[in-house]
Structure formats: structure tokens, C-alpha cells
Amino acid sequence: MTSSASTSRILIISDTHGTNPINSPLPPVDLIIHCGDLTQESKLCEYNQAISLLKSLDAPVKLVIAGNHDFTLDTPIYAQKLIEAGLQPPSQDQVVKKTYGDFGEARALLAARRDDGIFFLDKGTHEIALANGVTLKVFASPCTPSKAGGWAFTYDPAEQHHWSISKDIDIAITHGPPQGILDRTDEAKRAGCPDLFAAIATVRPRIHCFGHIHEAWGTKQVVWRDDSGTPPSHFTAINNDASKLIESLGTLRPGKFDSAEEKRRKEEKVEELVKKGYCYTRAEAQKGVQTLFVNAAIEGGSEETRRLPWIVELDLPLSTCVTE
């Protein structure tokens, strides 16, 4: 038995959309997490591009979930799209089959990559052993709220969505954000799920990582209040005085009211980060007390500040059962 801890380095990315947006060599890490939207149009070639990207990164374990763009991983949605196109499942046009694959083909493509350290996670709780002796409990879910049809793994935002997250998880990996944290759109609307926030505020994992809302890229260290309210919301559950925004597009982009000195400081900071190829933070994430939230949506428009992957350093307890 041991109660010692190990420092783990975790690379977090999301929303690569069938591209390889990582242009600089990244240092080795203990774990990679991809929070979904591996593809833009759910084509087999895009899944292969995502696999090539993951294989190029130096880590023994790479966890992947689906996103709303990855519709061939959501068989009912894929079947619906085929019917809308005038094709009757399970028969498919050969061009469609070559481009998008048979039912289950994209999933099998990802599932076959365990020898490369790639683990595709369905919704639920998973136990993940790292090479440094840490065993993580991870909750994964691709689900996001959407009023529009045709997207994968979505639910009606007007209806309550049940998040079955156990209290002993270390990391929550979802495609979409919780309401109130790194979820604000360019239209200044909160796009996150309130039920997800309530679940996370109840469980209080060390890290909650996600993507989906590209313009809300960034990280925030949240300190929880002792009395979070019932049900907890981002208004009642967070100790805002003790919490801090670590980085966001707003801390990197020159703002309308920034002084010339502040604009120059931001430009120098961005230049330094782009040269390094990633953003880094050390998480102060005591279980049940603090949670590091990471929106790792890496894709951005050509005129925007380039969004970089996150490397998070975190002290995690070693496995309680150690085999000599």
C-alpha cells in the first residue's frame, strides 16, 4: 500500500475537425485527452487523419471521445442521414460507403488502435492505468445540447439530461461545456449545459475538460463553495474570489480598450506561446475543493489568435495496490 503521489503531465485537445493543427513538436506526456469532433464531416479519411495526429504525439495512453460532428459514430443519426439522402439502410451507395464507411466502421477504426495507445471511450466511467503508476477514474460523454437536428449525440436543451457521474472520478471528459464556465459564444450567450454543471459541481473532479464552443477556449481554476445550493448553479457554487481565469482568448487578443503597452504585451505573449507550441498550467486541484476547467477547442479561424493545445501538470495519487 502507498499514499504517495506522482506528477502527471496531460495534453488536452479538442475539435481538430479532421486537420492537424499542431505545428510544433510537443514534449512527451503521460496522457493525451481528445474531447471530440475528430472530424468535420465524419469521413473515414478524417478519422485516419485524427489517428495519425494522435500517433504522432508522444504519450503511452491517448483517450478519445466523439463530438457532434462525428455522426458515423452515432449509428441512429447516421442511418437517419442516409434515409434523408434517399438511401435505405443497411444498403448504401458505394460512393457513400467508400467515403463514410459501413455502420460501425469508423468505431472499429478507432477501436483497433489500442496498440498505439488510443482508447475510444463511450459514455460512462472508465478506469485508466498510466505508465507512471497512477490509476485514473474518468467519466466520458460525447453528449451536447442542440435544438437543431442531424448532429451526433445531442439532446434537447429544453429537457433535463441525466448525467450519471460517480463521486470518485478524477477527470470528466465531455464534448460540451457546463453552463457558466468557458461556454460563452461570440453572441455573448451561455451555451453550456446547466445539468452538466450541477453534476460536476456535485462530484467536483480534479479536471473537467471539453471543447465544442471554439470561441470560449481557455482554462479556469475554480474553487468550490461549501454551500453550493440545490441544485448547484454557476451563480451559487463557485467561490469567485478564490477562483481565477488562467487564460482565454480575451487574455491573448488585443482588446478595443487596451493601451498600446497592453497590446504589445499580449502580442509578445502570443508570440512566445506559438513558438513553444502549447499553453501550460499546473493544476491546483485538490479533490472536492478545486476543479481545473479546460476548454481545449483548438480549431480557429485564420484571422483569430491561434488556439494552442494545453499541457496540464497535476499531482495524482499512485495506485493503492502496488505489485512488486
- Tens digit of pLDDT for each residue in 192-214? 999 999 999 999 999 999 999 99
pLDDT at residue 302 greater than cutoff 60: no
As a whole number, the mean pLDDT across the chain is 91
Report pLDDT digits (tens) over 209-230.
999 999 999 999 999 998 877 7
Report pLDDT digits (tens) over 36-78.
999 999 999 999 999 999 999 999 999 999 999 999 999 999 9
Percent of the chain with pLDDT over 90: 76
pLDDT at residue 15 greater than cutoff 70: yes
Confidence class of residue 322 from pLDDT cuts 50, 70 and 90?
very low
Can the peptide bond before residue 231 be classed as cis, meaning omega within 30 degrees of 0? yes
Confidence class of residue 323 from pLDDT cuts 50, 70 and 90?
very low
Q: Compute the distance between CA of residue 197 and CA of residue 190 in angstroms, rounded to an integer.
A: 12
Q: Which three cell numbers stand for residue 129?
A: 492505468
Nearest to 288 by CA among 198, 165, 205: 205
pLDDT at residue 79 greater than cutoff 80: yes
Q: What is the pLDDT of residue 2?
A: 42
Burial tier of 271 (Cβ tally within 10 Å: 0-12, 13-18, 19+): exposed
Report pLDDT digits (tens) over 148-175.
888 999 999 988 899 999 999 999 999 9
Q: What is the pLDDT of residue 209?
A: 98
pLDDT at residue 240 greater than cutoff 90: yes
Nearest to 122 by CA among 136, 107, 103: 107
Q: Which residue has the higher pLDDT, 95 or 1?
A: 95
Q: Domain spans of the chain?
A: 5-250+279-317
Please say whether the dihedral angle defined by the alpha carbons of residues 269, 184, 235 and 221, taken in this order, is positive or negative.
negative
Architecture of domain 5-250+279-317 in CATH?
4-Layer Sandwich (3.60)
Quickly tell me which residue has 429544453 as its cell: 158
pLDDT at residue 1 greater than cutoff 70: no
